[in-house]
Amino acid sequence: MRTQVGIIGAGPAGLLLSRMLAVQGIESVVLENRSRDYVEARIRAGILEQHTVDTLRDVGMGARLDREGLEHDGIYLQYPGTRHKLDFPELCGRNVWIYGQSEVVKDLIAAQLDDGPPLLFEVTDVQPRDVDTDSPSIAFTDADGVAQVLECDVVAGTDGFHGVSRPIVTAATDGKLWERTYPFAWLGILADVAPSTDDLIYAWHPDGFAMHSMRSPSVSRLYIQVDPTEKIEDWSDDRIWEALATRMALPGWELQTGPVTEKSILPMRSFVSSPMRHGRLFLAGDAAHIVPPTGAKGLNLAVADVTLLAAALVRLLAEKETDLVDAYSDKALARVWRCTHFSWWMTSMLHTHGDEFDAQLQLSQLQRVCTSEAAARELAEMYTGLPVAL
Catalytic positions are 72, 202, 293, 297, 383
Give the nearer residue to ligand DHB in terms of CB position, either 95 or 148.
95
Distance CA 215, CA 44 (A): 11
Binding partner of 221, given ligand FAD, ligand DHB, none, CB within 5-8 angstroms per partner class: ligand DHB
Three-state DSSP at 168 gives helix
Give me the DSSP letters along 48-111.
EEHHHHHHHHHTT--HHHHHH-EEE-EEEEEETTEEEEEEHHHHHS--EEE--HHHHHHHHHHH
Give the nearer residue to ligand FAD in terms of CB position, either 46 or 136.
46
CA angle 82, 88, 94 (to 5 degrees): 165
Binding partner of 285, given ligand DHB, ligand FAD, none, CB within 5-8 angstroms per partner class: ligand FAD
Binding partner of 11, given ligand FAD, ligand DHB, none, CB within 5-8 angstroms per partner class: ligand FAD
What is the closest distance, in whole angstroms, from the C-beta atom of residue 70 to ligand FAD in the complex? 15
Binding partner of 294, given ligand DHB, ligand FAD, none, CB within 5-8 angstroms per partner class: ligand DHB
Three-state DSSP at 95 gives coil
Binding partner of 6, given ligand FAD, ligand DHB, none, CB within 5-8 angstroms per partner class: none
Contact 179, 271 (CB under 8 A): yes
Distance CA 86, CA 224 (A): 21
Site membership for ligand DHB, residue 307 (CB under 6 A): no
Of 19-27, 39-47, 71-79, 328-336, the segment contacting ligand FAD by CB under 6 A is 39-47
Torsion sign over Cα 213, 214, 218, 223: negative
Distance CA 325, CA 176 (A): 20
Give me the DSSP letters along 38-52.
HHHH-----EEEHHH
Q: Which of 11, 12, 14, 46 touches ligand DHB by CB under 6 A?
A: 46
Distance CA 161, CA 166 (A): 8
Distance CA 282, CA 163 (A): 13
Site membership for ligand DHB, residue 295 (CB under 6 A): yes
Contact 58, 153 (CB under 8 A): no
Torsion sign over Cα 353, 359, 365, 366: positive
What is the closest distance, in whole angstroms, from the C-beta atom of residue 127 to ligand FAD in the complex? 8
Distance CA 342, CA 378 (A): 10
Q: Which of 55, 165, 213, 274 touches ligand DHB by CB under 6 A?
A: 213
What is the closest distance, in whole angstroms, from the C-beta atom of residue 249 to ligand FAD in the complex? 23
How many residues touch ligand DHB (CB under 6 A)?
10
Q: Which of 74, 275, 279, 293 touches ligand DHB by CB under 6 A?
A: 293
Among positions 292-331, residues that touch ligand FAD (CB under 6 A) are: 293, 296-299, 302
Give the nearer residue to ligand DHB in terms of CB position, either 205 or 221.
221
Give the nearer residue to ligand DHB in terms of CB position, either 213 or 273.
213
| Residues of the chain by 3-state class (helix, strand, coil), percent to 5 | 40, 30, 30
Residue nearest to ligand DHB (CB): 46
Q: How far is CA 226 from the centre of its chain?
A: 21
Of 30-38, 80-88, 111-119, 371-379, the segment contacting ligand FAD by CB under 6 A is 30-38
Binding site for ligand DHB (CB under 6 A): 45-47, 200, 213, 221, 293-296
